[in-house]
């Protein structure tokens, strides 16, 4: 009766497919009423029997399950050549909301400013990303919360940027450091610097996809073509699998300028790439939590700021399933 399906794989499949109806699948598989739901919410005290797993397997396959699915982390770089547009905040908050949904997440600080490390309370890291890129050292990580880890950086990363340019395979070194740990996480998010430098190209080379954060202001369009061209160049020459997931508007205010800009972007660009429906509002809680070096969810899981990213996280996970299928 034994098959390769395990409870952990079943739970992972539902986590990645939140729109799947747990009780519907339960009934289709002919399991006792609400069994799956009870097992999922039992904190490990209830299990599925081998017989349950055998019944479930064909039903899950019908909905897209396969052994190889979700074995490796999806690596996403958060990019924009412009500064101060919410890249770091999105990396931290999307990471935390993914964790709240049960995923294992690694955040990589790939910006010499080290802002991501600082807001997560990791200053002057003893070991950091720059130390490993040209040595045998594995990517150094520190644990931030249950299921949330950080590979930290500081200004030392700027010192090795020249090596990324001059050394053989410089801009695939980050990819090589990530490859051995792909099975340890569900998502790896890379916070990029505000430039189109070799650091950003290295992050793109290491990624399955990329997400652009953008302020809804006309200055945001300046240079956007260069960013899109850089992503296309990476796709053409060094990482043909990379996809542009789309744009998320950040620091959105309720005024006619922001409204007008968003409408214009949605109508002119929606044909070329996705502009996510969820918008991250301009809220002071983001600055507060960062000043306190506490994650948003730890500070206030009921805040409007945290809710914005939870909503975005739901939309993003749902979108990723469309891409996979
Ligand atoms: N939704 C928001 N509402 C209010 N303030 C925000 C929001 N998102 C980010 N901020 C604040 O705006 C500033 C810039 O944000 P962030 O550091 O995330 O941008 P960035 O694109 O990573 O910047 P850089 O290009 O310098 O790395 C920070 O002080 C942050 O606290
Ligand atoms: Mg930043």
Ligand 1 atom 17: the closest Cα is on which residue? 88
The CATH class that applies to domain 7-62 reads: mainly alpha
pLDDT at 1 over 90: no
pLDDT at 325 over 60: no
Which pLDDT tens digit goes with each residue over 134-192? 999 999 999 999 999 999 999 999 999 999 999 999 999 999 999 999 999 999 999 99
Q: What is the mean pLDDT of residues 52-62?
A: 96
CATH 1.10.260 residue ranges for the chain: 7-62
What kind of fold does domain 74-324 have according to CATH?
Rossmann fold (3.40.50)
pLDDT for residue 69: 84
pLDDT at 107 over 80: yes
Beta-bridge partners for 63? none
Q: Rounded mean pLDDT of the chain?
A: 94
CATH 3.40.50.300 residue ranges for the chain: 74-324
- Ligand 1 within 6 A of CB of 208: no
pLDDT for residue 308: 97
Q: What is the mean pLDDT of residues 260-282?
A: 90
- Ligand 1 within 6 A of CB of 130: no
Ligand 1 atom index nearest CA of 89: 18
Q: What is the mean pLDDT of residues 213-217?
A: 95
Beta-bridge partners for 246? 211
Q: What's the 85 CA to ligand 1 centre distance in angstroms?
A: 6
User: Are the beta carbons of 25 and 36 closer than 8 angstroms?
Assistant: yes
Q: Which ligand is nearest to the CA of 250?
A: 1
- Ligand 1 within 6 A of CB of 293: no
pLDDT at 32 over 50: yes
Distance CA 97, CA 17 (A): 15
Ligand 1 atom 9: the closest Cα is on which residue? 86
pLDDT for residue 2: 52
Q: What's the 251 CA to ligand 1 centre distance in angstroms?
A: 8
3-state secondary structure 108-159: EECCCCCHHHHHCCCCCCCCCHHHHCCCCCCCCCEEEECCEEEECCCCHHHH
- Ligand 1 within 6 A of CB of 290: yes
User: Are the beta carbons of 140 and 132 closer than 8 angstroms?
Assistant: yes
Backbone phi, psi, residue 94, to 5°: -65, -40
Which pLDDT tens digit goes with each residue over 243-268? 999 999 999 999 999 999 999 888 88
Distance CA 218, CA 309 (A): 24
Which pLDDT tens digit goes with each residue over 65-77? 998 888 899 999 9
Ligand 1 mutation target, pool 113, 286, 303, 305, most atoms within 8 A of CB: 286
Q: What's the 197 CA to ligand 2 centre distance in angstroms?
A: 14
Ligand 1 atom 29: the closest Cα is on which residue? 287
pLDDT for residue 4: 86
Q: What's the 58 CA to ligand 2 centre distance in angstroms?
A: 44
Using CB atoms within 10 Å of the CB of residue 256, give its burial: 0 to 12 exposed, 13 to 18 middle, 19+ buried: exposed
User: Are the beta carbons of 78 and 187 closer than 8 angstroms?
Assistant: no
Query: In the structure, what pLDDT confidence band is assigned to residue 323 with cuts at 50, 70 and 90?
Result: low
pLDDT at 218 over 90: no
pLDDT for residue 324: 64
Q: What is the mean pLDDT of residues 3-23?
A: 92
- Ligand 1 within 6 A of CB of 283: yes
């Amino acid at each position: 009766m034994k098959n390769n399906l395990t409870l952990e794989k079943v739970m992972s499949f539902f986590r990645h497919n939140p729109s799947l109806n747990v009780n519907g699948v339960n009934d289709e598989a002919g399991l006792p009423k609400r069994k799956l739901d009870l097992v999922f919410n039992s904190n490990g005290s209830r299990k599925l029997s081998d017989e349950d797993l055998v019944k479930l397997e064909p039903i899950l396959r019908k909905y897209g399950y396969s052994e190889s699915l979700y074995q490796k982390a999806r690596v996403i770089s958060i990019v924009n050549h412009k500064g101060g547009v919410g890249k770091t905040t999105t990396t931290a908050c999307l990471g935390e909301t993914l964790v709240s949904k049960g995923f294992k997440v690694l955040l990589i600080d790939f910006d010499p400013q080290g802002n991501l490390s600082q807001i997560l309370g990791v200053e002057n890291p003893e070991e950091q990303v720059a130390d490993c890129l040209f040595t045998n050292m594995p990517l150094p990580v520190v644990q931030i919360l249950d299921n949330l880890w950080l590979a930290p950086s500081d200004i030392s990363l700027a010192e090795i940027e020249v090596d990324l340019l001059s050394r053989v395979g410089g801009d695939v070194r980050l990819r090589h450091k990530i490859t051995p740990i792909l099975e340890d996480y569900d998502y790896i998010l890379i916070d990029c610097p505000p430039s189109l430098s070799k650091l950003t190209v290295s992050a793109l080379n290491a990624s399955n996809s990329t997400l652009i954060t953008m302020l809804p202001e006309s200055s945001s369009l300046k240079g956007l073509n260069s960013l899109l061209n850089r992503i296309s160049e990476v796709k053409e020459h060094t990482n043909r699998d990379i996809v542009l997931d789309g744009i998320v508007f950040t620091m959105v205010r309720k005024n006619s300028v922001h409204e007008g800009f968003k409408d214009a972007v949605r109508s002119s660009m929606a044909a070329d790439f996705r502009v996510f429906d969820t918008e991250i509002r301009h809220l002071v809680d983001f600055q507060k939590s960062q000043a306190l070096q506490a994650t948003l969810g730890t500070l206030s899981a009921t805040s409007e700021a945290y809710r914005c990213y939870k909503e975005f996280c739901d939309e993003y996970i749902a979108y990723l399933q469309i891409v996979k299928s």
